[in-house]
Amino acid sequence: MPRADVAVVGVGLAGLTSAIALAEGGARVHVVATGFATTHWAAGGFDAGVVRGAATPQAAVDRLARKIGHPYRLVAAALPAALEWVRGILAEEGLTIVGGLSDPLRAIPTALGSTRIAAVLPDGMAAALAPWEPGETLVVCGPAGFRDFWPHAIVASLRRPGSWRGQPMPGRVEPVTVDLPGLAGRHNLSGLDIARAFDDPVWRDQALDTMARAVERLAGGDGRVALPAVLGLDDHAAVLEAARRRLPLLPFEVALAPPSVPGLRLYRALRAALLRRRGRLQIGEPVRGAVGEGHRVERLVGPAAAREFVLTVGAVVLATGGIAGGGIVGLDDGSLRETVLGLPVDAPLGDPWLLPDAFDPPGHPLETAGIRTDADLRPVAPRNVREPLAENVRIVGSLLAGQRYLRERCGDGVAIASALVASRSLGAHVAALAGPEHRLLASGSRAR
């Protein structure tokens, strides 16, 4: 029967960063998840918050932290340290993250021809963050036959000032489609296929030469070139460096429909960081229940291929992502169930679950559904917040009640800040269980 000082349930941003922090402190960490997480959907950057009237992520976080019941009330103070710590971990794995919490939020082009607001992005998207000058040209360049990136459609939309959300736009926006070597006529060409092709240095050189010639014809003066986010998967840093060197305009990647290549790079870097710290990772097993005594969870259980999977644990971090991640499900009787421990779910009472307008601007009310916690992120009952329901359990990420991670764009910030808070508070707990050889994050002094 496998044992762990800490079991982390969920392999999203919250789960992986919790696991890395705990493993870094010396705990034997076992991560178990039903499947891949939001990392594979998202753009690979860090959204800490986007709120009307807030010019920087930090300003948005400060505003959200004043909202009653918002998880930032508990974890916002840890966010700056968490971001720098994660930035350091990713840099060790070869992935550079640019931008900070006090940098201006900018309108970044999307593959749909709209823009989204961001400040903290992977290096491949860095060139999109500088404000546009009126004399600049934006060339949108995509491979022929690639259905997730249509330069002409993107440009038609980006030429409209309204697409830029009141922020400066380029003086000229031009499309170009290029035939990349060996891709013409390929059916169902995915971003992942092209990213893998770019990992090959020979193909990369040919492709970049073709792109350079096409972009050169449109460039004329200062400008930047937007490319689909396919500049390599395993060898991204080298591909990006080559693209910057060979293309006549400064390139930046534009995130695509899932699976997201920048998201995969982020996931792979975090996974590598966890394995380097001797963490264990098991994907494909749902956790369906727990056995414990008093206010402590002692074993997690779930169905597995041949027989029941049982993991003996000293503590548990629940990072199951709430409704979107599968950590909370709706039942036929209209109630909500937390899928691992059966914790009480805090959801807005009386709100209609099925809104007449799927794009209602305030967002879906159920987005705020989640688990309430105390300041240490131990689960509590919504009506009795003083007594933790489980002493050795911590709740992190989108499972925390009270946030609208889609509307407030705070999901990534909440994920990494709560991971740091949970690992610090569990640090003391697990060290007591495991003995003096464990040098965990109890004091928080390891945060870089």
Ligand X SMILES: Cc1cc2nc3c(=O)[nH]c(=O)nc-3n(C[C@H](O)[C@H](O)[C@H](O)COP(=O)(O)OP(=O)(O)OC[C@H]3O[C@@H](n4cnc5c(N)ncnc54)[C@H](O)[C@@H]3O)c2cc1C
Footprint of ligand X (CB under 6 A) = 9-15, 32-35, 37-38, 41-42, 47, 286-287, 319-321, 324-327, 339-340, 397-398, 405-406, 409-412, 415
Residue 15 beta carbon to ligand X: minimum distance, rounded to whole angstroms? 5
CA distances from 321 to 206, 297, 388 (A): 42, 20, 20
32 or 128, CB closer to ligand X?
Answer: 32
Residue 101 beta carbon to ligand X: minimum distance, rounded to whole angstroms? 13
CA distances from 8 to 130, 162, 322, 395, 419 (A): 38, 44, 15, 10, 11
In whole angstroms, give the CA distance from residue 96 to residue 94: 6
9 or 61, CB closer to ligand X?
Answer: 9
320 or 425, CB closer to ligand X?
Answer: 320
Q: 259: cis peptide before it, omega within 30°? A: yes
What are the structure tokens assigned to 152, written together?
């002409």
13 or 65, CB closer to ligand X?
Answer: 13
Give Cα 360 distance to the centre of its chain.
24
Contacts of 363 (CB under 8 A, 6+ apart): 404, 406, 407
Residue 114 beta carbon to ligand X: minimum distance, rounded to whole angstroms? 13
User: Tokens 């590598």 map to which residue?
Assistant: 272
Between CA 170 and CA 178, with CA 176 as vertex, the angle to 5 degrees is: 145
94 or 286, CB closer to ligand X?
Answer: 286
What are the structure tokens assigned to 393, written together?
């359990």
Residue 196 beta carbon to ligand X: minimum distance, rounded to whole angstroms? 24
User: Tokens 């976080």 map to which residue?
Assistant: 61
In whole angstroms, give the CA distance from residue 121 to residue 228: 15
Residue 433 beta carbon to ligand X: minimum distance, rounded to whole angstroms? 23
Q: What is the 3-state secondary structure (H, E, C) of 372-399?
A: CECCCCCEEECCEEEEECCCCEEECHHH
8 or 442, CB closer to ligand X?
Answer: 8
Residue 245 beta carbon to ligand X: minimum distance, rounded to whole angstroms? 31
197 or 410, CB closer to ligand X?
Answer: 410
